[in-house]
Structure 1
Amino acid sequence: MQISHPISHPGTHASFVQARDLLQRHRTDYARAYADFRWPALDRFNWALDYFDPMAQGNDATALWIVEEDGSEARYSFADMAQRSARMANFLRAGGVARGDRVLLMLPNCIELWDAMLACIKLGAVMIPATTLLTPTDLQDRIVRGGVRHVICLP
């Protein structure tokens, strides 16, 4: 699934990967890494669209492994995460979330948290993480002071 009206920037994936690979090749040789590294000349870069999604395409390796307190487990591949987050980004965009909007994420460690984070990055929205333990007063304070336009939480 693709995000409708993506804001990805062609060619940025290869530039970013090339710079990352150079640093990884020389990770034990600081002088060489410092001498050879050049920041990619990117006008714009969206990590989720320009790096994560291309890397995730057809990638069935485990990206996220959630183990609950009761011992139950759920694993999600990179491809799953890209598709799930695109679906959520499309849903959020249809609900009015736009670039620069502040979105409060009040979710436990569940798949929806990770979907929402990637979706916000894809849309250019600003994530404001919040613990599920907030009192109503603390939650109201964060919403007001953070200029929050949207809240993602579980019922």
Structure 2
Amino acid sequence: VLLEHDLVIEAAVIPSPDPTRLAVPKAYICLTPEAPAVGSDAARAIFAHAHERLSSHLWVRIIEFVPELPKTISGKIRRVELRAREAARVQSGDEAGQHRDRD
């Protein structure tokens, strides 16, 4: 569903540790060059797009925009690297660049 949005080139969804829910879905997204300069505008548009097309239990709760996703030699997205990056971010408490979908 995220890839169907006009602003999204690539996306990968991983679990993000959460103190209340244990884990919530987080999307790492690469945007097109035509995307708004302000990331929060793009995040709101992508959240709205997903809310229209998915049941509430499938909604992505956090979006982080990245210039590119880590890939293997064969071109597959390395989600293990994204999970390790997310675990380190949560442990350090860094909230920069995180766009959250508030319930």
TM-score normalised to the size of structure 2?
0.28
Higher relative contact order (CA 8 A, sep 6+): 2
Q: Which structure shows the bigger proportion of residues in strand conformation?
A: 2
Q: Which structure shows the bigger proportion of residues in helix conformation?
A: 1
TM-score normalised to the size of structure 1?
0.21
